[in-house]
Structure 1
């Protein structure tokens, strides 16, 4: 008879304006870790408004959240609020002190930075916001997933799945991680070669920056300078 695995506590920070796939992508994979217990923590138990028109209900408050073995901070336009939230930043510092892994997806890395957790660390974030990492003393590395000791940062949105598989391999071994990848049929074959500025049409990159990311980048930049 196989032994029951010890609980492995995975804590995701939730907040209004979250990009839901930053959370749900890695959560789907990390939940397969033997003994995984997933905690979705927020300042209150009210539904969290995502960027996709639906809400997610947290299952614990910050105060009642258990110590994470793996802490993950997703991103989204709501990042501009959490990098100014003293309660959330202290929560991240407290959790990081006892976590095996401290991780982020997309602009969640900016919250780790605001909590003082990226000083001198190699890190990445969504391509539109990489210039902000240096404001936290981080060293930007152009990679989809960057690991510096127990700090793991992933780039934009879908890269959260890649980081999750890397962590699963470290915790449970590569064969187990490969089995998870196969079971969830993670076999990317996008119809277009347009997933990153290094391969996308420069006009498309400029359009996205003008319509979506430029203003958000400026707002975040101003907030960080003000602080």
Structure 2
């Protein structure tokens, strides 16, 4: 077991496999369906506001996204949205829930390498059934020592997870593509946060980087993670 780090925790969506691009594709279709009622930019603003509003009700994931689209459609059309549009939005959500998993570059090799020397956790937000489906399809399930599907990633949630696994925060590292969820909360409780940016990130997950913090690092690709760990 390495002296400095005992546990490496990974985010799932857009860290291990593609996710946000399917939301963007569906949102583009949403704009097409409502083009007769409102401009795409205005619709996007209204949808984002609905998603922010509804996080406390629906949590993260496809189901909440679809419900927020339906709510936004009703609002921007002043309750005149055709039933056919609602039906298409529901079908789009079902398509998202059936979409095959596309692993990002270097994911399987990196996790396989680190699993030989570290405890490996998956810490992800979202709908439980959908996250279980994606993990099963990814073929990565056997590489993880623990799976945590949570409703939010706060310092308190990370503290609870690390305590449940018997991990001192200073010997844990969280790796992900969300500055807000994967980097800042672990750093706050004494763990390390490693940011691996994805080319598309949901606006709600944006936050300022803790530049200069001694437990913060950023990587261009997950392939670089074993090398980073070796230098710390």
Judging by fraction of residues, say which structure has more helix. 2
Tell me which interval the TM-score lies in, with the shorter structure as reference length. Answer: 0.3 to 0.5
TM-score (norm 1): 0.39
Please identify which structure carries the higher strand content.
1
- TM-score, normalized by length of structure 2? 0.38
Bigger Rg, which one: 2
